[in-house]
Structures are given as C-alpha cells and as structure tokens.
Chains A and B, each alone.
Chain A
Amino acid sequence: MTAELVPTIGLEVHMHLATRSKMFCGCRVAYDARPNSLVCPVCLGMPGVLPVMNKLAVELSVRMALALNCTIPDFAKWDRKHYYYPDLPKNYQISQYDQPLGINGYLDVETPAGTRRIGITRVHLEEDAGKLMHAEHGNYSIVDLNRTGTPLLEVVSEPDVRGAEEARLYAETLRQLAVYLGISYCNMQLGQMRCEPNVSLRIGAGPDGKPLYTPISELKNLNSFRSVERAVTFEIARHRQEYLADPGNYTLAKQGKSTRGWRDDEGISFLQRSKEEAHDYRYLPEPDLVPFVPERAWVEELRKNLPELPRARRERYIKMGLSEETADMLLAEAFVANFWDVFHETLEHHQGAGKWPIKRVLELANNWTLQDVRRALNEKTIDAPSLHAEFAKQLADLVVLVETGVINRNTGAEVFNKMIKAKLDLNPKSAAEIVKEENLAQTSDSSAIEAFVDQALAANAKAVEDYRGGKKASFGRLMGEAMKASGGKANPQLVKEILLKKLGG
C-alpha cells in the first residue's frame, strides 16, 4: 500500500574562482586581510560606479563548463538579482539568470553501486556577497565587504542524485575536478565551496501518470562533505515521516519549495523561509555590462587545452601499476599529474633506464614527485607554475645521477634544493652542473675511502671499543663519522664494506 519513496536530489554548488582579483573590479581576493581593506568604490556599490568583467573568471568558468561536458551557448548575458541585505551594497547581485554560460552537461560519479551519470543543468558566474556578523553584545551588526564581488561559479545539477552518500560523492567529485583544473581552491573552511542540496522524494505516479513529489527543501550553505551527507540523510528521513503522516497534503503541488538551514551540532534542519516568504528577485538584464558572446575558436581552444580529465587519467595510472592512493595524490591537482607524467616519461626513456624495471621507475618517480616536490610546494619554495615540463626533465636527470651512483641520496636531496634555489634566482642549473661546480660527485675510490674510515676509527676509539664489546649500534655512529670525513661524498656502500672489514679484522 505504501508508495515507493525515491530520493530525488539536485545540488547547487558554489565555488570561488581562483582569480587574483574580484569579478567586476580590480580589488584583490584574499581571506586573511583586515576587514573592509580589500574594497573600492565599485565593489562598495557607490553611486556612479560601473562593473567591468573579469576575463580570467569567465575563462575559468567556461573551462569548468567544458569539463562538465556542457554546451557553451553563443550568447550569455548578465542579470541583476535583487534582494536587500547589508552585505550586498548595491542590493542586487550581478548573476546570470536565463542565459548562463554553460548548459546541458553531466558529471560521472563513482559510487559503490557503480558509475552514476549526474546531469548538469547549468553553470553560471556571479559575484559573492560580503559577510554580516551580529554583535554578541549590543543591538547592532558589523559588515565585512572584503568578500563582496569575489567571482563565484555556480554549478546546478539535475535532480538525478538518489541518496545522501551519492550527494556527498557528487560534491567530492566536483571538487576534485575544480581543484584539478585550477578553477577553484575549494577550501571549504574558507567558504570557497558551498553546497546546497534540493531534496524531495518521488511518490510513485499520480492519477495522470506523471510522478508526484514531496515538497522540495533547499538546504542552504553546507560547508563540508560530511554535513552534505548528514543533512541529506536527515532530510530524506524527515520527508518520509512527514509524507507518511499526511500523504494527501505533503506534496510539491500543495506546498512548493522551502528553504532550510542546517544545525551541524544538533544534526537537524530547520525552516528558514516557506514558499509564501520566497523572494521575488525581480531579475533585470544588467544594462551596465555587454552580453558575453564567446568566439567559437576561443571556446574550441579552451576545449582542446583541457588536460586529460581525472577519471580517465586515474584509470591509466592504475593500469600502469600505480596504487589507487598514489594515483589520487597525483590527481589532486592537474599540474602535479602533468609534472609526474613528464618526469616519469623522461626517466623511462633515459639511457640508463634499461637497468631499472618499470616498477622501480614508478617508485622513483613516486618518491621524488610526491615527497620532494610536494614538500617544496607545501613549504612554498616553489609554486605551481614553475613545475613545467623542463623542470620535470631536469629532476629526472637528477634522479638518474642518484640511481647510477654518481651522487648519493642525501647529496641528491641537497642538489634538489639547490636546483630550486637556482630557479628562484632566475639562474636555472641542471643537476649535473651543480654536482660539477660544487664537486659533489660521490667517491668510490677505495684507497681514499679507506683513509676516511681510518680517520673515523682513530678519532672514535670509545665507539670502536663498544662495537667490539658487542654494542652493534655503535656501527652507525662510526659510519656517520666516516661519511662526515668524506664531506658526504663517499659511496656509502663502499664505506660500509671497508668499515666492516676493518672492525672485523
């Protein structure tokens, strides 16, 4: 007797674009600045100002739309969306209403139940509002307009999502794509990505054969994947309960759409605005901006320059023999994966490569890119744009120097840092140049190494005595001293052999 209740969920996801400046003025986009320090007459909405479109923001948006398999219409326009709020100085937001820059796409999402294709209704660009904070004491509010005018991309999905986990996976996949393509940093703590699921349940079919639904609830401003899953789970259960309690009345036709907030600490949603209180945004085509009429050739150029998308690339990496974890780490950002590809290819085709099985090449590429390069990125000694193909080739050459025994691993790490420094000084040098200039090549001359070992033994009589007395740990100490005596250049394998021989003798 109970009708089947199928969750029918669409998501609206907002992302701050990774531009240096705001959408319609030259102010910098930053998250740690003093309140109201990143503003100008334009983003303050002063009388007489006019917006000027940020071309990079449009380009990033079109790239995202292309990556989401959208059609890019020949004509897109800007519209004003009106509502009064103190964080919106003009009391309208410049957005795109009925002619957005991307339509009719899809995103494939891997779920435990297999790949799900989620339709993308539209991708459009707008400006973010500022932040209004209510004073804890006293009856006033304060407003920070640094965020006002930050380029905001909105991706609206079809109601194709069928559950809470799927909603989370969709949002995560979208985030991966945006970060990978350098569209957005999607730092959710900073509010760079916000999700708004629209939840409804399909209630079988009505008398006319058309499907019936429970009222749509739009969950506002969820800023973690966990809260997306939890809020949708809660909302599905709530809809089910409300519907079963009053099946004749709890329908979309009767109650329409409402807006709900989410209290993460309590794990409940609450009504913000009912259908009756819905805003009339009075959309108006923006007369201060000319419509966006993309040139076909430009769009095709952007399409052609899209990197291999994460899903296909991941499959290729796994086929190649990388672990899923490694593949995901490389795919976090396209430039890291691009760097890795060049690096790996250079290493594979190196003259000395015959010595190494593919597994070793992967391991090396892995270690160097994921450890050394990642660390340098994190420590900000290098930045993404400097990770170009040329540098990947130079790094591969360095690894070859290590693997063929010209320098040892520690010296390798040192050379790596020097290469970065030389790059920053705009005087790039190859690993071979640095090794030669600083005389860092490894010594494999046995008589020279013997001298270093003797020097270490003579200077550390106590350690020698300990070792011979059975304290094998002292070996490491002596090994280190001998390496130090060589200035770090001795071939560690030979040092070890000679030291063992001498101690044993």
Chain B
Amino acid sequence: MATTDLTACEIRDAVRRREMSAAEATEASLAAIAALDPKIKAFLAIDADGARRRAADIDRRIAAGENVGLLAGVPVAVKDVLCTANGLPTTCGSKILQNWKAPYNAHVIERLLAEGAVIVGKTNMDEFAMGSSTENSAYFTTRNPWDLERVPGGSSGGSAAAVAARMVPLALGSDTGGSIRQPAALCNVVGLKPTYGRVSRYGLVAFASSLDQIGPFARTVRDAALLLQATAGEDPRDSTCVLNKDQPVPDYLDKLDEPVAPLRIGVPREFFGAGLDPEVEKAVRAALAAYEKQGATLVEIGLPHSTEYAIATYYIVATSEASSNLARYDGVHYGYRSSDHTDMIDMYMRSRAQGFGDEVKRRIMLGTYALSAGYYDAYYKNALRVRRLIRSDFEQAFEKVDCIMGPTTPTPAFRMGEKTADPLSMYLSDVYTVSANLAAIAGVSVPCGFTAAGLPVGLQILSGVFTEDRLLRIARMYEREVDWASRVPPTVAEVRP
C-alpha cells in the first residue's frame, strides 16, 4: 500500500504518533503530483518548497511535543479561488488575475495552517467558478482520472481530480450551484457543501455571495468530516457566517459511525425525470435499496419548484451577484490591464474584454441585464420570490423526512468539448445541485458506483440547515456497506510500480 493511499485521518494519526513524518507524507504527495499531474493537470501552481518547509516545521514541533492540530502533516490542495499569502498567485482560473498575489490568507487557509495542514498547491477551476467542467479555465482543462478524455466536472474540478488521483488526501473547493458535489460525483470522491454560513467566506473570491460556500473533498466520509471540522465556525470578518453561540460546531467525527435510526429518506420524483441517464439512475436506486436494507424508509416527495424553476432562478441570482462582484476587475488597482487603451473608459473596456473569458462575460452580461432599471422587478425580484418558494419546498420536505436523496448529476462525466458549444446543456448538469444553494441547506455527494464504461456515479444527500453532523452519519451508513472508495483510477494504477 502506498503512502498516498492513506486517508487524512491515518496520516494525521501516524504523524502524531511519529510513525511517519510530515515530511514523508508531503514527499509522497509531491511525488504523486510529479508523476500524475502532467497528465491530469489538476494544479495551477505547486508549492513544493513551501510545503517542504512547512512539513519540516511541523515535524520539529511534534518532536518538541507540541500539539499541531487536527490536520497534522496532512497534504491539502486548495482551489485557486481561495486567497493565499504564500507567494503563489490566486488566479481564480482567470487571465485577469494571472499574476495577482493575495496579500492575505483566507479564513479557511488560516484554519488549515492553524491545524497543521501542509498546503501543496492550488487547483484548477472554471474561471471565477463559472462552469461545470474546468473547460472555462483560462489556463487548461483538468482531466478526469477515470478517463483522461473526459472532464472532471467543475468548477472545483482540479480539487476533485487531485483527490481522486490520490495526489492529496484532502482538498478544498467552493460550491455555488454544485461546484463541489458535481465534480465529486464525476470523480468518485466525497464532496460536501456545508450550510450557507457554516464556513467563513472571508478570502473566498466571490462569484455569487449569497450562494458560495467552501467545503471539503476527500476519499472518505470521515476525512470530509475532518476537514469540515477544521474549517467550520464563526469569523468576525464574515457577517454572513453564523456565530458559534447560535450554531455551535458539533464534533463531526465523534459519532460518525452511529447509524441514524429511524431514518426517513425523501426521494423527490422530480430528481428522477427526463434527462437522467439510466445507468446513473440504476446506481442511485441501488444505493437507496442499500439504505432500505438497513431499515430506512423511502418516502416519495415533491419539490415542485426545485427542478422546474431552480436553474432559471439560479442563473438570475448568481449572474446578478456575479456582475456586481466582478465589477472590481477593471485594470485600475490590480490584475490585468490592457496596454493598448486610449483613455480611461477604453482602459476599462479593453482590460475586461481581454482579461475575462467568454463564459464570465456571458454571465456578467446576463446579470447586468437582470439588474438594469426596468428589468429588476421582472428578473431579480421574481427570482428572489421563487428562491423563497424553493426554500419552503425544502422546509416542508424536512418536516416529513430526515434527508433527501437522488443522483448528484444527470449523467456521468462527459467528454471534453461535448457541451462547450451549448452553454444551456452545460447549465443542466447542475440541475439537481443548484437548489441546495438557493435553499442554503447542506448537501453531500458520495460515490455510489460505476457505469459499465467505468465512470463514477454520485449519490447526493441533502439535509436541513446546520445538520452536517447527521448528514455525514447518513453518508457513512452507506459508505461502510460498499467499497467504491478503494477503487484506484486506471491513470493512477498505471504509474504504480
């Protein structure tokens, strides 16, 4: 068994017991990156020197008997949407921030450092987290480790692929409409989107502020719980982050192996309608049956607003906020500035025209339109109204059931280029995930099998606000009955001795 097959919990325990050094764990991770990343292209930047220095520091502190935290010596990759003051650029996958180095660390980066993690690099993503395949990255497309001709999903595709290819046991991503859960499903890893307000967004470069949340990628539910544990909790710098006194951060690991019983699972009929790939449906139904076998009850429910209107609502709310959040990239204070402008207005226009990619421009235009005088009521205000209906759909559902399950995505990983010509079909790959962001609830995607072609399928489990502890226990109930996580992607198996 290779060091990179170890889970984060195993590495952490070994490092704490001094059976393995942080340096060894880090070298194993860097070696895997060196061997695999030229093919997979999960990383935009690798900080080998920084990681080695950091690992040495952790080993020294452990030798000195210090408590170095929950993630002692664990290599972690972070999506390039998180500000890091480690000297690496924070690009958001965009040309407009190509050489921009953040002068500060995001809250979650501070948390990782405080808990003894070793940050090895920053992962690829769709530009400003807008996309479902990483094909909108201004730099390159990340490959799916299960099939290099296919996309890993997105926007956090780099983080998902890095964990799936065992280059790191843990990674952070961000989820605005499914950007953690969708790539997790497509890459056979666990991806959790916490409740809005559970993790501070300070230092997360904003796409859609009322929807964005940072969350973990891991190969196991326990590792995902560990990374959530390390990052959740209040932060006075984010007013939308909940106070610990109002929502204490529970111990996510303590009772993780205790099944939830009785367990009522809501199965929304809308999640099994047209457009769902039969192989995906089959794998998800099998997972539901596995829960039934453990005594759970399946309850058919309706989420009338959550599929029919969710995508439309999402694309109005998200693009409106994005048009505002991305207004700051203008070439004046930082980032890319055109060199061929004639005056100030021309500088704004050229810098933005040259610095942003097509999808980002498309969404800025949509959002600008939706917020314009005369259209605001028809679009943005109505979208907020529907958002409230979606939220109440879920509130009503959670009165009857403990969680909601269905497929994370309608199809397994698609081929590169398959959907780039048709933005709408790309948007539909988020059809089951966006409503959780609109409703601000917690959701997780856990591996639930493979198609005949060997492509991973994800089971999405949604639960009410601030119930991550129960959500993780429910996910764990299924995980220990199956063995999907131990499968090694062919790309990874190839480079093994």
Contact = CB atoms under 8 A, between A and B. Distances in A.
A-side interface mostly: loop
B97 A47 contact: yes
Contacts, number: 95
B201 A50 contact: yes
Interface in A73-87: 80, 82, 84, 86
Interface stretch (A236-244, A280-288, A393-401): A280-288
Interface in B351-382: 368, 371-373, 376, 380
A53 B239 contact: yes
B239 A84 contact: no
B183 interface: no
Interface in A91-143: 91-92, 141, 143
A47 B205 contact: yes
Contacts of A50: 201-202, 237-240
A163 interface: no
A485 interface: no
A89 interface: yes
Contact of B327 (A46, A51, A82, A86): A82
B103 interface: yes
A256 interface: no
B328 A91 contact: yes
A52 B235 CA distance: 11
Contacts of B236: 52
Interface in B285-324: 320-321, 323-324
Interface stretch (B38-46, B71-79, B330-338, B478-486): B330-338
A354 to B, nearest CB: 59
B333 A89 contact: yes
B489 interface: no
Contacts of A49: 202-203
A62 to B, nearest CB: 18
B102 A46 contact: yes
For chain A, give the interface size range.
20 to 34
A45 B328 contact: yes
Residue with the highest number of chain A CB atoms closer than 10 Å, among B82, B100, B209, B236: B209
Given A80-B324, A284-B324, A287-B210, A48 B368 contact: no
Nearest to A139: B343
User: Which of A45, A80, A84, A290 has the most chain B CB within a 10 Å cutoff?
Assistant: A84
B265 interface: no
A47 B92 contact: yes
Contacts of A82: 324, 327, 371
A90 interface: yes
A258 B106 CA distance: 44
Nearest to A279: B373
A53 B240 CA distance: 12
A479 interface: no
A287 B238 CA distance: 11
Interface in B193-211: 201-206, 208-210
A47 B202 CA distance: 10
A15 to B, nearest CB: 24
Q: Which of B92, B209, B210, B239 has the most CB of A within 10 A?
A: B239
Given A282-B372, A287-B321, A289-B239, A44 B202 contact: no
Interface string A52-83: 11000000000000000000000000001010
A35 interface: no
A231 B97 CA distance: 46
Contacts of B240: 50, 287-290
B70 interface: no
A52 to B, nearest CB: 6
A48 B327 contact: no
Among A82, A282, A288, which residue has the most Cβ atoms of chain B within 10 A? A282
Interface in B65-108: 82-83, 90, 92, 97, 100, 102-104, 106
A52 B373 CA distance: 28
A50 B205 CA distance: 10
Given A41-B103, A86-B344, A282-B372, A47 B328 contact: yes
Interface string B35-55: 000000000000000000000
Interface residues of B, number: 42
B398 interface: no
A280 B371 CA distance: 9
A280 B237 contact: no
B139 interface: no
Contacts of B104: 41, 46
A47 B333 contact: no
Nearest to A282: B371
Contacts of B90: 47-48
A92 B324 contact: yes
B348 interface: yes
Contacts of A45: 328, 333
A288 B210 CA distance: 7
Given A92-B324, A288-B239, A288-B240, A47 B100 contact: yes
Contacts of A282: 323-324, 368, 371-373, 376
B239 A283 contact: no
A36 to B, nearest CB: 10
A26 to B, nearest CB: 10
Nearest to B94: A47
A289 B206 CA distance: 14
Nearest to B332: A86
Interface in A251-282: 280, 282
A284 B367 CA distance: 11
Given A41-B104, A50-B202, A284 B380 contact: yes
A287 B327 contact: no
A44 B324 CA distance: 16
A53 B103 CA distance: 22
Contacts of B238: 50, 288
Contacts of B201: 50
A91 B327 contact: yes
Contacts of A143: 332
Nearest to B106: A48
A52 B239 contact: yes
A44 B210 CA distance: 21
B332 A283 contact: no
Contact of A44 (B239, B333, B373): B333
Interface string A402-415: 00000000000000
A282 B320 CA distance: 10
B368 to A, nearest CB: 7
B206 A48 contact: yes
A280 B376 CA distance: 11
Given A53-B239, A84-B330, A48 B202 contact: yes
Contacts of B321: 284, 287
Contacts of A51: 239
A343 B327 CA distance: 56
A84 B203 contact: no
16 contacts: A46-B83, A47-B92, A47-B206, A48-B205, A49-B202, A51-B239, A52-B237, A52-B239, A86-B344, A90-B327, A91-B330, A282-B324, A282-B368, A287-B240, A288-B239, A290-B239
Identify the 9 closest CB pairs spanning chains A and B, nearest first.
Answer: A91-B327, A287-B209, A282-B371, A287-B210, A47-B205, A48-B203, A48-B83, A48-B205, A86-B332
Given A46-B102, A284-B324, 4 more contacts: A46-B104, A52-B239, A82-B324, A289-B239
Interface of A: 41, 44-53, 80, 82, 84, 86, 89-92, 141, 143, 280, 282-284, 287-290
